[in-house]
Amino acid sequence: MEKISLLIPCRNEQGTIRTAIELGKRLPGVNEIIVIEGNSSDDTFQTALKASNEFKDSVSLDIKVIKQSKIGKWNAIQEGIPFTKNVNIAIWDADLTVSFSEQCLIHERFLANYEHLGEFCLSTGNRMALREAGSMRVLNLLGNSLFSKLWSLMSGIYIPDLLCGSKVFSKKILGCLPSTLMEKDPYGDFTIFASAIVSGQKIEFQNLTYRARSYGQTNILRWSGGLSLLNFTLSFFLKYKSMIQSKRN
């Protein structure tokens, strides 16, 4: 079985980070967990350190907890990747709005694609399939829907959800985009999708039930984040328009 390094970015997730680490070690393919803590105002870092010492197995599982030097989820992922030992990366948000069982299905899709086809893919979740009450605000839902329609139209690939935090992919694809473009993406989701499109990798979606937070509040900046994502979208499709059209034809 292909091995996977699990990245858990977290900020102010004291109430859920221990559970995320405990369950993360049971995800299919995972033999390493990297927790990237984003300078929380609560005891997330201390809780993660304690849990890592409790759950790591020196033989089959390594757990590292690092402090993020800057801010933002995408920066956290970028700072965590150099610590990974595997080519395959999984991301699971510490808020647990994607359940353990459904994160397992995302991993299984990735592993099955490689086992049966011999190719890596981008495996991610589709939160638009079903949502608990209170899991997504109206403006977030509208923004997600608009970006989904825009990317589907411009890429020629049906993309129901761009901003689900749960993903499994090969980190090799991240080298195909210029850093000046990636810097426009505050969360990393659009960069990963764009990288998969440019590298020609298949994109697999797992329908899931998006759950309401059980602890804390979202770290998403809706307005400024949305404008940054729009800037990334326009920049990406203008730069790669010809390449994408040639693939569609």
Total of domains in the chain: 1
149-159 per-position pLDDT tens digit: 999 999 999 99
Cα 242 to chain center, whole Å? 27
87-105 per-position pLDDT tens digit: 999 999 999 999 999 999 9
- pLDDT in the model for residue 130: 79
Cα 120 to Cα 111, 113, 125, 197, distances in angstroms: 8, 7, 16, 13
217-231 per-position pLDDT tens digit: 665 655 677 899 999
More confident residue, 197 or 116: 197
Which pTM value belongs to this model?
0.91
Please check whether residue 190 is in contact with residue 162, taking contact to mean a CB–CB distance below 8 angstroms.
yes
Q: How do beta strands 30-37 and 4-10 pair? A: parallel
What is the residue range of 216's domain?
4-248
- CA torsion 186→191→193→198, rounded to 10°? 160
Mean pLDDT across the chain, nearest whole number?
91
CATH number at residue 41: 3.90.550.10
- Distance between CA 86 and CA 1 in Å, rounded? 12
Q: Name the band, by pLDDT with cuts 50, 70 and 90, for residue 205.
A: very high
- pLDDT in the model for residue 193: 97
Largest CA distance in the chain: 53
- Distance between CA 227 and CA 223 in Å, rounded? 6
Helix residue ranges, H only, the chain: 17-24, 44-55, 73-80, 100-117, 138-155, 179-182, 189-199, 222-239, 241-248
* Residue 105 identity (one-letter amino acid): L
Angle value at C-alpha 121, between 116 and 127, nearest 5 degrees: 115
Mean pLDDT on 105-126: 94
Mean pLDDT on 50-64: 86
- pLDDT in the model for residue 210: 87
More confident residue, 71 or 29: 29
Could you give the angle at which helices 17-24 and 44-55 cross, rounded to 10 degrees?
30
